[in-house]
Amino acid sequence: MLVMGIESSCDETACAIVSDKKEILSSVVWSQYEEHRRFGGVVPEIAARAHLEQVDVIVKEAIEEAHIDFSDLSGVAVAGGPGLIGGVIVGVMTAKAIAMSHNLPFIAVNHLEGHALMARLTNEIEFPYLLLLTSGGHCQILVVNGPGKYERLGGTIDDSAGEAFDKVAKMLDVGYPGGPNVQRAALSGNAKRFNLPHPMKGRPGCDFSFSGLKTAVRHQIELLGTLTEQDKADMCASFQATVVDTIIDRLKHGIQLFQEKYPHGKQLVVSGGVAANAMLRNALENLAQKKHLQFAAPPIKLCTDNGVMIAWAGIERLRLGLTNTLDFRARPRWPLDKPLE
């Protein structure tokens, strides 16, 4: 079974061909960093236009790189939301056109489900598992019981972790995209120099909040006035360590809930763009070990948005007969734990 996956919900235009034998035949990711860099963040209209210009080229490249033809496909999957609606529409229209003209099943994948199931392609992961999904748009702790079967244990009440990385990077002018640049700058910084608040620490449940942390960083920057490169590195290191600490604190509660309710669940999985962060991966691995859970994280390049995750989620759905009709509506919002209405 070969499935094409198309992703265009944020600032990556991506297409991949994946087999149900867990082979990645091709994966083409075109990042729009250059388009958005001078604005220090993603501009939705520019993103939509860029997706429209690139999507045909990317799809063609994915087919050529895989050395297949459209007629070899068993289905076409697309991120149908949540995301920037202009981009999502571009992907959905493209996938529908391919499905219609080649008479293929059409599978609308929740972008978050793409992240959630990604590790099942690269690792041996059994349902149910505990998932920390942390990306630019989301920060949630979920139990994954199967495709379309999620129990949300907690989530952010304001910003996502990725958003906080991106905003702090912009404040410190360390470059776009924020996460990787903060991580790089933090390497030469002192994480103990700035004492930042740990939002929600010690509170019951597993909700997150990152907006107060971001404000605290802004405050410290204002107090410093002119920033040296060392000040920036120290701030990046302090901020990164605080985010990781906060996530670990919240996840401890998530693990407790998971282990009480699902005693047969054995794995902790992380996914989404922030899962590319080395310090977070290490901290999660240590926590999992202490709590007697196996830890799995997809390879770095499959943590950030890509077509493979959409194709793989498409395979998981297609195997269960979960396909969509061509009147599927692209959606800007689409909670993972709510069925498609």
- Please state the closest distance from residue 186 (CB atom) to ligand KG4, in A: 9
Q: How buried is 139 (Cβ within 10 angstroms: 0-12 exposed, 13-18 middle, 19+ buried)?
A: buried
Question: Do 201 and 249 meet the contact criterion of CB atoms below 8 Å apart?
Answer: yes
Asked if 272 touches ligand KG4 (CB under 6 A), the answer is: yes
* Span near ligand KG4 by CB under 6 A; candidates 160-168, 193-201, 262-270, 322-330: 160-168
List the strands of the sheet with 2-7, edge to edge. 24-31, 12-19, 2-7, 75-81, 106-110
Chain centroid to CA 279: how far? Answer: 17
Rounded CA gap, 282 and 288, in Å? 10
Return the structure tokens found at 296: 């799995």
Asked if 114 touches ligand KG4 (CB under 6 A), the answer is: no
- Please state the closest distance from residue 162 (CB atom) to ligand KG4, in A: 3
Chain centroid to CA 207: how far? Answer: 18
27, 32, 54, 135: residue in contact with ligand KG4 (rule CB under 6 A): 135
Rounded CA gap, 110 and 44, in Å? 19
Scan for tokens 């992380």, then name that residue. Answer: 270
Phi, psi at 229, each rounded to 5°: -60, -35
Closer by beta carbon to ligand KG4, 265 or else 272: 272
Binding partner selected for residue 166 from Zn ion, ligand KG4, none, CB under the kind-specific 5 to 8 Å limit: ligand KG4
- Please state the closest distance from residue 180 (CB atom) to Zn ion, in A: 15
* Span near ligand KG4 by CB under 6 A; candidates 66-74, 89-97, 149-157, 268-276: 268-276
99, 196, 274, 318: residue in contact with ligand KG4 (rule CB under 6 A): 274
Rounded CA gap, 43 and 330, in Å? 19
Rounded CA gap, 135 and 272, in Å? 5
- Please state the closest distance from residue 302 (CB atom) to ligand KG4, in A: 10
Q: How many CB atoms lie within 10 A of CB 83?
A: 28
Binding partner selected for residue 274 from ligand KG4, Zn ion, none, CB under the kind-specific 5 to 8 Å limit: ligand KG4
Size, binding site for ligand KG4 by CB under 6 A: 19
Rounded CA gap, 285 and 279, in Å? 10
273, 298, 307, 314: residue in contact with ligand KG4 (rule CB under 6 A): 273
Binding letters toward ligand KG4, positions 165-204, x by CB under 6 A: xx----------xxxx--x---------------------
Question: Do 231 and 122 meet the contact criterion of CB atoms below 8 Å apart?
Answer: no
Helix, strand, coil % over all residues of the chain, rounded to 5: 45, 20, 35
Asked if 81 touches ligand KG4 (CB under 6 A), the answer is: no
- Please state the closest distance from residue 137 (CB atom) to ligand KG4, in A: 4
Closer by beta carbon to ligand KG4, 105 or else 177: 177
By CB under 6 A, the residues from 14 to 53 that bind ligand KG4 are none
Closer by beta carbon to ligand KG4, 16 or else 276: 276
Enumerate binding residues for ligand KG4 (CB under 6 A): 10, 135-137, 162, 165-166, 177-180, 183, 272-274, 276-277, 304-305
